[in-house]
Structure 1
Amino acid sequence: MKQSATITGVITLTGLGNPIILGSNTNKTFKISLAEWSLHRSLQSKDIDHLDFCSIAKNKFNISAVEYVNSFFFDKAKNLTYLKEMKMRADDLGVKSLLIMCDGEGNIGDPDSNKRTQAVENHYKWAEAAQYLGCHSIRVNARSFGTYNDQIELATDGLRRLTEFCDTLGINTIVENHGGLSSNGKWLSAVMEKVDHPRVGTLPDFGNFKLEEDKWYDRYKGMKEIMPYAKAVSAKSHEFDKHGNETGTDYFKMIKIVLNAGYHGYVGIEYEGTRHSEMEGIQLTLELLKKVRSMEGIKL
């Protein structure tokens, strides 16, 4: 069910020693969006209001596409007045609403059948809100418990049921590598293959490959494994060196993986560091993505 296009014919360009292989159509690169989690500290402290997110994206960073996080309007999923205000602000600014990242609604792969069903149904309202806002997807977590294979079966069951509901709304269900076995690229790929639905996919995150305390999955291997199912991508960032490069992730290598998978959609800035202010971290990530994108041979 791998959904990304296969690239034939290549151009090689080099950045920091990492060749980036592009398809024969060099007009195709990637677009940049902003994930609301980049501002989570300011939102949690109420220094910023959720309704101002689109304005910040557009007016401070000239970014015209955003990814919402449900925790910043958790009690507003069914509040049509509030959703209308969100949509109006985005539309007035010319900002595209891409997806809603959903947390706090239960485990899609819960071993308890009743809890799993409840978790699936808890996401319905977010799919409906996403449809109203003009998003293409909701991001969910494939958290489960048990053996490796048991968790594949449980996550598959929950995801398939949720995806079938979302399909009636024209909304995708996408899974982020977000800890536990979901950060194991081989495991998440197996879940995608087993669900086997055109509306299910992944949201590969550059940095979220922590399996458990002090145990990590190779991020480049993981990205290669889950990119074929990608319907969105998160450019996670924490710290930067004096050259503006992210210290934990080779962005040139990651973008090579993204483009080689045939993905040319939005790559969402998701700054999560502490050394810089959130505004500075977003700007540094934006500049790095632009640097990678503007390498010789890529036409913007």
Structure 2
Amino acid sequence: MQFGISSYSFQPLLRRQEISLEGVFEQIAASGGTHMELATMTVGQSPETMMEYELYEDAETRRRLEAAAENSGVALSGLCIPASFIDEDAATRRAQIDRAKRYVDLCADIGVGFLRTDVVPWALRPESYVQVEALFPVIVEACLEVAEHATSRGVVTSIENHGFLMNSSERCRRLVQAVDSPNFRMTLDVGNFLCVDEDPLMATRNCLDIARFVHVKDFLLRKRYPGPGWLETLGGRHIVGTVFGFGDLETREIVRAILSSGYDGYVSLEFEGNEPTLMGCDTGLANVIRIFDEVTAELAA
């Protein structure tokens, strides 16, 4: 098992220029991590322009990433990009697919084995099952094309249970099954299932056999509106991020499920809470490593 942190966790500091890319690698190393997963939106100019920023066109940032990984001993484990394969305009949809394939090429060129692509806008909430069923074959077609290109470059692409439309364990399993490629798997986020009101432990168990990358995070969960700053789930509950181990997820049982499944790949912490960023990342990763170690010992006893 290799533990690390997503650059997304450091987004507030990166946006305010209070930490550099190099500083992120150094912070992860100091926290005991061995890898960083790069969300490309964290190196774009702003959230408003993240769909326009392209890392594959930014040679200077690529050079800095490679140098920082080498100098810190923290590997660059994967890339995460925003994408949408459902635009009704054929030219726009084609551009999004070709863009994803260029990121496959970038991964291959810099020795990164994993690329997570969104397939719909994160904030898109399904209007009906009719809408989901209409979009499904369009998404499958695009994911298959990207996966076939990834096969030729030795890269694994993935869907993440992310947002509201392409989420839930069954929907993600269905997509992976429909694409039917060893180079298209799942980035399993143990917390994001709450966005669609699915039990994180049960959903994690349901998806571990198709997972090739794991995100760990924690949320506070409330049935009634607790005030501003909380995300409303599809079912009308409310969640907010917190330090891993501080929230309402059954973190120890989720870790037990991961270990019992035989998964032995990258585990990436995503911290998105209101606590100070460095505290959330450092304490969160320490809790991740501690809980994995404790449960490993329990399973071996």
TM-score where L is the length of structure 1: 0.79
Among candidates 44, 54, 78, match of residue 99 of structure 1: 78
- Does residue 54 (structure 1) correspond to residue 53 (structure 2)? The answer is no
Q: Is the 8 A contact 1:67 1:101 kept in 2?
A: yes
Q: Say which structure is richer in helix.
A: 2
Matches within 5 A, 1:210-225: 210-211=194-195, 215-225=196-206
Q: How far, CA to CA, are the matches of 2:207 and 2:108 in structure 1?
A: 25
Matches within 5 A, 1:1-300: 30-58=1-29, 60-73=30-43, 74-103=53-82, 106-143=83-120, 147-211=131-195, 215-237=196-218, 238-239=241-242, 245-274=245-274, 276-295=275-294, 296-297=297-298
What letter is aligned with 1:191?
L
Deviation track 1:163-210 (CA, whole Å, cap 9, x = no partner) reads 112222211111111112322111110010010001001111121125
Q: How far, CA to CA, are the matches of 1:248 and 1:167 in structure 2?
A: 39
Over aligned residue pairs, what C-alpha RMSD do you find? 2.2
Q: How far, CA to CA, are the matches of 2:86 and 2:186 in structure 1?
A: 16
> Could you tell which deviates more after superposition, 85-94 or 190-199?
85-94
Q: How far, CA to CA, are the matches of 1:64 and 1:180 in structure 2?
A: 31
Q: How far, CA to CA, are the matches of 1:248 and 1:47 in structure 2?
A: 30
Q: What runs of 5+ residues in structure 2 fail to find an aligned partner?
A: 44-52, 219-240
Q: Is the 8 A contact 1:152 1:190 kept in 2?
A: no
Q: What runs of 5+ residues in structure 1 fail to find an aligned partner?
A: 1-29
TM-score where L is the length of structure 2: 0.79
Q: How far, CA to CA, are the matches of 1:36 and 1:193 in structure 2?
A: 30
CA distance 1:38–1:143, shift in 2 (3 Å): same
> How far is 1:79 from its partner?
3.0
Q: Is the 8 A contact 2:31 2:286 kept in 1?
A: no
Deviation track 1:234-278 (CA, whole Å, cap 9, x = no partner) reads 0113335xxx8331211111112222332111211111100x211
Q: How far, CA to CA, are the matches of 1:129 and 1:94 in structure 2?
A: 21
Q: How far, CA to CA, are the matches of 1:114 and 1:75 in structure 2?
A: 18
Aligned length: 260
Q: How far, CA to CA, are the matches of 1:298 and 1:108 in structure 2?
A: 42
> Identity over aligned residues, as a percent?
16
Q: Is the 8 A contact 1:183 1:210 kept in 2?
A: no
Q: Is the 8 A contact 1:206 1:235 kept in 2?
A: yes
Aligned to 1:180, what secondary structure does the other structure show? coil
CA distance 1:190–1:266, shift in 2 (3 Å): same
> How far is 1:111 from its partner?
4.7
Q: How far, CA to CA, are the matches of 1:191 and 1:110 in structure 2?
A: 18
Structure having greater relative contact order (Cα 8 Å, sep ≥ 6): 1
Q: How far, CA to CA, are the matches of 1:219 and 1:124 in structure 2?
A: 31
Q: How far, CA to CA, are the matches of 2:80 and 2:155 in structure 1?
A: 13
Deviation track 1:97-138 (CA, whole Å, cap 9, x = no partner) reads 1101102xx412445443322211122332222223321111
